[in-house]
Chain A
Amino acid sequence: MSADHPALDPREAARPRVRIRVTVNGTAREIDVAPMQRLLDVLRNDLHLTGTKEGCGEGECGACSVLLAGRPVNSCLVPAVHADGQEITTIEGLAQHGAMHAVQKAFVKAGSAQCGICTPGMVVTAAWLVDSHKGQAVPEPEIRAHLAGNLCRCTGYGQIVEAVVDALQQQATEG
């Protein structure tokens, strides 16, 4: 309510705002935000990038995972001011020129999603894992360790790990 009609809430004018500059999925953006607002809310509500999901809101589930300065973070635990000057990649930014990321293709192939709520965060973390291990063999326990911050209540993780193994192999053969 107050977000749509700021004038109706007398406290709105007094609220702190800061301007942050971010590069989201390759596009430079400038936005006015409340400084401690969660990056998750900035992405979903201000930038309308609703691919990033909220599960727990407390850093446990990883549904809100995005890449910040090249590393996966829980966007529910990042205050907006910490995104200032940074590059962010969300699930919407993984496909390049209409072509899915190797991890996305592998998820489709292996059937790695059921209800889907964990999937955007899981794919973002998995894509980071695959991109940061180009040409390397990653043992399964390492894969599971990298994905441990992304909880899935449906799949039992089997098809997810299978997809990551597949994507790593695809990357290796493509050079």
Chain B
Amino acid sequence: MQAVMLRDVEVMRPRTLDEALRLLDRAHREGVRLRPMAGCTDVLVDAHFGKALPERFLDVWGLRKELGGLRWTEAGLVIGATCTYAEALETPKFVAELPALAKAASQVGARQIQARGTFAGNVENASPAADAAPMLLALDAQVKLASLQGVRTVPLLNYWSGYRQTVRRPDELITAIVVPAAALGSQGQWFRKVGTRAYQAITKVGLASRLQWQGGKLVDVRLAAISMAATPKRCATLETYLKGRELATIDAAELRHAQAVDLQPIDDVRSNATYRAEVFARLVEQALRETHLATAH
């Protein structure tokens, strides 16, 4: 079989979203793979490593007028499918209302990657080591999908169906990621990635979280683990253990016990299970301390 080379690949360049959806629909009915491409920071790396290329790409980047930018609505913040990390970071309101997502965005690759990489691409790429996607998960974000059949909204909680898999149908396009209004400017947003260095480093282990305290008690807990499972993952057992507690009643051993129910990290080229588990537990402890301290003032 002849491998498809980059110079053989065709790019469909629709001028409107409507045209894009028609092209996807036709390709889907004819059984042809038509893969969307935005900033191409994942797509062209796949090509570089010789992963099987589809014969055709659908260029979403060219739809920036329709799908670009940030829009504040009653429902929340609509992050357009082609909105890049750099664009978001240059928007003071974004940084002010979503400080932990801004921190995650500012640590994706380095400036060159941030100029091209999109939030939507990060979500659809479905890497367990993604940085922005798990923070969006901790913010209760939703994925807006469009096709000729109509539009639907899927909470990120149900979006990743397995390792590098999503529930998006091949005839659907992500049009936006929506961060609900309740999460904007909310208390206790916290993110930290641990990699080999500060930039250009894939996360070995990380925590994207939202911890809301009231009267010294944790009233709302969202913990999303990075590089600890096959997908970015919310930690149901840990969250249940923590909810309603005061900082002083959180026991390190019980915390690690609950964590072990939710997360069974693996050994791989970037790190090993023991390191990941211990560092993750300490990230949870650090997040608890720091968000608690922030509300004590």
Contact = CB atoms under 8 A, between A and B. Distances in A.
A74 B112 contact: yes
A11 B5 CA distance: 12
Interface string A108-137: 000000000000000001000000000000
A125 B112 CA distance: 9
B111 A36 contact: no
A172 B226 CA distance: 42
Contact of B45 (A18, A58, A78): A58
SS of B interface (majority): mixed
B293 interface: no
Interface in A125-175: 125, 145-146, 148-151
Interface in B111-165: 111-113, 115-116
A31 interface: no
Contact of A72 (B8, B10, B11, B111): B111
A18 to B, nearest CB: 7
A148 B201 CA distance: 10
A18 B112 CA distance: 25
Contacts of A49: none
Interface residues of B, number: 30
Contacts of B86: 71
Contacts of A36: 6-7, 9, 11, 47, 57
A146 B111 CA distance: 6
B48 interface: yes
A150 B40 CA distance: 19
A62 to B, nearest CB: 6
B33 interface: no
Interface in B246-291: none
B199 interface: yes
Interface in A1-27: 11, 15-16, 18
A73 interface: yes
Q: Name which of B7, B62, B115 has the most chain A CB atoms within 10 A of its CB.
A: B7
A59 interface: yes
Contact of A15 (B7, B49, B59, B110): B7
A60 interface: yes
A145 B112 CA distance: 11
Contact of B10 (A35, A145, A146, A149): A35
Give 5 closest A-B pairs by Cβ, nearest first: A149-B110, A148-B199, A35-B11, A34-B7, A71-B115
16 contacts: A16-B8, A35-B11, A37-B7, A57-B48, A58-B48, A71-B111, A72-B112, A73-B115, A76-B48, A77-B116, A78-B40, A79-B11, A79-B44, A81-B59, A149-B111, A149-B113
Given A60-B200, A81-B13, A148-B199, 20 more contacts: A11-B8, A15-B8, A16-B8, A16-B9, A36-B6, A36-B7, A36-B47, A36-B57, A59-B45, A62-B112, A76-B48, A78-B40, A78-B116, A79-B40, A81-B11, A82-B59, A125-B112, A149-B111, A149-B113, A151-B200
